[in-house]
Amino acid sequence: MMGPPGSGKGTQAKKIAVQYGYTHLSTGDLLRGLAGKTDLTTEESQALETIKHGNLVPDELIYKLVFHKIEDSIRAGQGVVLDGAVRTVEQAQSFNQFFVDNNLNQEVLVLEITLTNEEALRRLSGRRVCARCGEIVPLSMAVDSCQKCNGELIVRADDDAEVIKLRIRKQGNKAMAPVIDFYRQLGILKTVDGVQSIEEVERSIAKILEISN
């Protein structure tokens, strides 16, 4: 799953994972999960700082976080939804090599959820997440706690106004264009309009997955 910050890729990735019984692997969630570890390596602590400032973490850390998880899932006979795992052309090439090495390259589909940078800014500036289950709640929804698990709703550290602008500059449409082109040239890219409602995006993705399966 690809798309600028705020495009809804996390929301849709979770839905796909539930519907198809796939493992949901969000590099953002995995990185934020490091914050709870007591024995962080220097590389990991630096990565947590990097995220707070809206920058990308080093490629090698991403590979360490996800490659073995993909292998575990595939070995267990489960598919995988990679959520935001590829954000540079170098990463796209390394993932591609990993898929080739594991004989999975015929199985990969890239779903891009499109959104303008302006809409991304509007959405991210108004969202909260559940500290317990990760459910995303728009600010327009006037609730005090998570409707799914009753957990506390918090604003993510990197959803601060200035950091949002930085993330959009560094990870928004312009920055991601070469990665999208890489997948377009491979012929495995499908695009969904992310301005639609969550349900409409879900239906558009379902149609694509039905055709591809």
Residues that bind ligand ADP (CB under 6 A): 5, 26-28, 31, 50-51, 55-57, 62, 84-87, 91, 158, 167, 171
Give catalytic status of residue 156 as yes or no. yes
203 among known catalytic residues: no
| CB of residue 79 to ligand ADP, shortest distance in Å | 19
CA–CA dist 59, 56 (Å, integer): 8
CA angle 11, 38, 55 (to 5 degrees): 50
Buried b (16+ CB within 10 A) or exposed e, 136-172: bbeeeeeeeebeeeebebeebebbbeebbbbbbebbb
Q: Is 127 a catalytic residue?
A: yes
Judged by beta carbon, residue 159 or residue 202, the one nearer ligand ADP is 159
Least gap, CB of 210 to ligand ADP (angstroms): 26
By beta-carbon proximity to ligand ADP, the closer residue of 176 and 205 is 176
Examine the residue annotation and report whether 167 is marked as an active-site residue of this protein. yes
Indicate left, alpha or beta for 22 from its phi (over 0: left) and psi (-120 to 50: alpha): beta
Query: Pseudo-torsion of CA 86, 87, 90, 96, nearest 10°?
Result: 20
Closest CB to ligand ADP: residue number: 28
Q: Which residue is catalytic, options 9, 14, 15, 128? A: 9
* CB 120 to ligand ADP: min, Å: 9
Cβ proximity to ligand ADP, 83 vs 202, nearer residue: 83
- What's the min distance (Å) between Cβ of 91 and ligand ADP? 6
Look up 132 and say whether it is catalytic. no
- β-strand pairing of 189-193 with 110-114: parallel
DSSP string of 78-113? --EEEES---SHHHHHHHHHHHHHTT-GGG--EEEE
83 beta partners: 26
Question: What minimum distance in Å lies between the beta carbon of 53 and ligand ADP?
Answer: 8
Q: Which of 14, 15, 123, 127 is catalytic?
A: 127
For the chain, how long is the longest CA-to-CA vector?
48
Indicate which residue of 15, 87, 123, 128 is catalytic.
87
Q: Which is nearer to ligand ADP, 50 or 117 (CB)?
A: 50
Q: With CA atoms as reference, report the closest residue to 167 among 53, 48, 11, 32.
A: 53
Instruction: Return the number of the residue (50 or 196) whose C-beta is nearest ligand ADP.
Output: 50
**Active site members:** 9, 87, 127, 156, 167
